[in-house]
Amino acid sequence: MTSALEQSAGLRAALPSPAALAALAGQIRVFADYQRDFSEQTDVVVVGSGPGGAVVAKELAERGHRVVLVEEGPPFVPGEYEIDAGLSMARTMREGGLRATSGTVLPTMQAIALGGGSLVNSAICVRAPEAVLARWSRDFELPHTSRAELDPHYDAVGDFLGIAPTPEAVLGRRNTLFRDGCRALGIPSEPIQRNVRGCRGSGECFTGCRARAKQSMDISYVPSALRAGARVLTSLRIERVRMSGRRAIGVEGHVVEPFSGRASHRARIDAKIVVLAAGCMATPVLLQKSGDLANSSRQVGENLQFHPGVAVMGIFPERVDPHFGATQGYQSLHFIEAGYKLETLWAPPAILAVRLPGSGLALKQRLSVIPYSAIWDAIASCNRSLGRVRARRFRTLDPHLSWHLHPDDVPILARAMYSLAEVFFAAGAHTIIPGVHGVAPEMRSLREAEIFLTHPRRATDYVMGGNHAFCTTRMHGDPRRGVVDELGCCHDADNLYLADTGVFPQCPSVNPMWTLMALARRTGLAIADRL
C-alpha cells in the first residue's frame, strides 16, 4: 500500500503544467471577471453545476462538444468553508437555508455554489432499489429505466468518483452503535457507500469538507469538464430560456454578486442544445418564467415530493463522542418496502440541539449529555404526499413551495420513529429523545415508544426535514402525463433537456444523488449522439 506522502507526490506529478493550469483557470469566469454585458455561443449550455449538470457537462465535453456550464453561486475553496452552522447556511444555501413549504410546513434546502448540493450533502450514494425502478418503468411507461439498464451508468459514475463503503476506521461510535443495534435485532445494515476519498471522519459534510475528501462536483466532475475544454461561468443567474418555435435557442440572465444576489451585467448564451439542471425547485420556475415552457401536460411544477425525514436522539451510558466519524456512515435498507430507510446522522451540533426540549437550566442539563448521545434518522417514501412549485415575482429563482403530508403517510413516520427507538434500545441506549409534540419528551423503554404505533399523531406534531426533492418535471412515456421523455428531452421542445431530480417520476426511496448522476450521464450520452 502506498503512503499518503507517496500518493501526494504522484498526484503532483500527474498535474497539468503551470501553463496548462493557468489556461484551465482561464476557462472559468467568476464574479470579478465580468466587466460588461456579454453574449456567447456554444453547442450546449448547461444551467446548474450540481450532480446533474456537472455530469452532463463532463460527458459532452469529453466527447468533443463545446460546452458552457453556468452556475449562479460562486466556487468555494476550503479556507472559505464557514464551520459555524448559521453562517455556513447563509453563504451556501438559497434563502439562507431557511426555505420551507407552505401547507405542511417542511424546512428544505437548496445549495447555491459551484457543485450544487454535492458541496454540502453527506456524500451518500445508493443505487435505487430494483423494485422502485421496476415500478417507474411499469407505471410511467419508461421501458429503459430498469435497474439493469441503469447499472452501466451507475458503474461509470461510481468508478469515476471512487464510490466505496465507509471505511471502518472513520465510522466512530455513533455509526458502530447503529450497527450493533441492528445486529442485536437481526436487521441487516451496511456501511454507507459514499463519493469520498481519504475521509478523516470530521463529520463536517454539511458545512463543506475541509479535508477535501468528499468528491463534490466542484472538485471532481467540473475540473474534468474543464480539462476536456468546457467553460464554466459562475455567479451567473439564468432567468429565461429563449425559444424559436419548438426549438430552444439559448438562455439569458444576469451576473449576480455572490451572497447578496444583486444583479449587474446582462448575459446571453446562444446554444444548439439547452440543458436545465437548476434543481427540482428552480428548473420549473425557470420554465414558468420563460412563458410556461414545455407545459402542455400541465405537469411543470406539479407532483413535488420529498423524503420527509425524522430523527431520534439516544443517550448511552458510555461516551459516544458523536462529533467524530463519517457524517452518515451506516444505514439499513430493511424497511424500504415499509416506506422508510434508517441511517445514522451528524450535523452541526447547534442544528441538532434545537430539537432538545425545555428552557433554562433544564435545557443546559440536557445539552450536557451530548457527548453520550447519537442521532439517527429515517427518510420516508411518501408517494401520496404531493405539492407544487410556483414562480415568485421578480427575477429570483427562489420558488413558492406548497406541500401537504398525506394523512395516510403519517403512520410511515410513526413506524420509522418506533424502529429508530428499537435500534437505540437494542444498542444499549438508556433514554431516547423523540422530539415529537404531544408525546413524552424523554422515553426510557421501548414500551413507552409504542405510542407511535398506537397513536401515530398528526403531521404537525413531527419535527421533519425535507430531505431530497423530486418530480416537479417528471419523466413519463406519455407526453400528456409528463414533461420529459426517458432521455430527459422535453416532450414539447426538440432540444431542451432537463437533468435534475425534477425528472424522477416518484421518490426513489433512497438518497437520490447516484441515481441522478446515472440518469444525467444517460442524458449526456443521448445529447452527444444527437450532436
Partner 1 sequence: MHRPFRARARALDPRAPGMLAPMWGKLAAAGLALLVLKRVAWGYPRPPRRYRVLFRGEAAVLANAAEAMYPRGGAIEASGLDADIPGYVDRLMLASHPRIRLLIHLLIFFVEHSTLVFRAPGHGGFRRFSALPHAQQIAVLDAWATSSLFFRRLVFTSLRSLCTLGYFAHPPVIEQLRVAPLAIEPRVCEADLLYPPVGRGRDAIAWTARDVNAPTDAVLPLDPDGPLHPLRGSR
Using CB under 8 A, which residues numbered 215 to 234 contact partner 1?
Answer: 215, 218-219, 222-223, 226
Stretch that binds partner 1, among 48-56, 73-81, 299-307, 474-482 (CB under 8 A): 73-81
Contacts of 138 (CB under 8 A, 6+ apart): none
Q: Strands, E, within 141-278: which ranges? A: 164-165, 190-191, 193-194, 231-233, 236-244, 247-256, 263-276
Stretch that binds partner 1, among 146-154, 317-325, 420-428, 522-530 (CB under 8 A): 317-325
Q: Which of residues 238-277 bind partner 1 (CB under 8 A)?
A: 258-261
Q: Which phi and psi angles does 238 have, rounded to 5°? A: -80, 130
Instruction: Give the span between the Cα atoms of 25 and 246, in whole angstroms.
Output: 36
Between 188 and 360, whose beta carbon lies closer to partner 1?
360
Between 148 and 361, whose beta carbon lies closer to partner 1?
361
Stretch that binds partner 1, among 264-272, 277-285, 315-323, 377-385 (CB under 8 A): 315-323
Task: Report the nearest approach of partner 1 to the CB of residue 201 (Å).
Answer: 5
Map residues 24-63 to x or -, x wherever contact with partner 1 holds by CB under 8 A: xxx-x-xxxx------------------------------
Task: Report the nearest approach of partner 1 to the CB of residue 340 (Å).
Answer: 23
Instruction: List the one residue from 63, 135, 147, 197 that touches partner 1 (CB under 8 A).
Output: 197
Task: Report the nearest approach of partner 1 to the CB of residue 339 (Å).
Answer: 24
Task: Report the nearest approach of partner 1 to the CB of residue 381 (Å).
Answer: 24
Instruction: List the one residue from 131, 134, 338, 350 that touches partner 1 (CB under 8 A).
Output: 350
Instruction: Give the span between the Cα atoms of 122 and 271, in whole angstroms.
Output: 34
Q: Does 15 bind partner 1 (CB under 8 A)?
A: yes
Stretch that binds partner 1, among 15-23, 242-250, 403-411, 468-476 (CB under 8 A): 15-23
How many secondary structure helices (H) and strands (E) does the chain include? 15, 20
Instruction: Give the span between the Cα atoms of 122 and 86, in whole angstroms.
Output: 17
Please say whether the beta carbons of 239 and 228 come within 8 A: no
Instruction: Give the span between the Cα atoms of 114 and 111, in whole angstroms.
Output: 9
Site residue total, partner 1 (CB under 8 A): 90
Instruction: Give the span between the Cα atoms of 447 and 406, in whole angstroms.
Output: 27
- Say how far residue 243 (Cα) sits from the centre of its chain: 30
- Say how far residue 413 (Cα) sits from the centre of its chain: 21
Please say whether the beta carbons of 403 and 386 come within 8 A: yes
Q: Does 460 bind partner 1 (CB under 8 A)?
A: yes
Instruction: List the one residue from 35, 244, 368, 454 that touches partner 1 (CB under 8 A).
Output: 368
Please say whether the beta carbons of 61 and 67 come within 8 A: yes
Helices 147-161 and 513-530 meet at what angle, rounded to 10? 100
Instruction: Give the span between the Cα atoms of 336 and 150, in whole angstroms.
Output: 20
Between 37 and 84, whose beta carbon lies closer to partner 1?
84
Q: Which of residues 113-172 bind partner 1 (CB under 8 A)?
A: 114, 162, 167, 169-170, 172
Between 104 and 145, whose beta carbon lies closer to partner 1?
104
Map residues 462-501 to x or -, x wherever contact with partner 1 holds by CB under 8 A: -x--------------------------------------
Q: Is 265 exposed, middle or buried (0-12, 13-18, 19+ CB in 10 A)?
A: middle
Between 367 and 453, whose beta carbon lies closer to partner 1?
367
Q: Does 367 bind partner 1 (CB under 8 A)?
A: yes
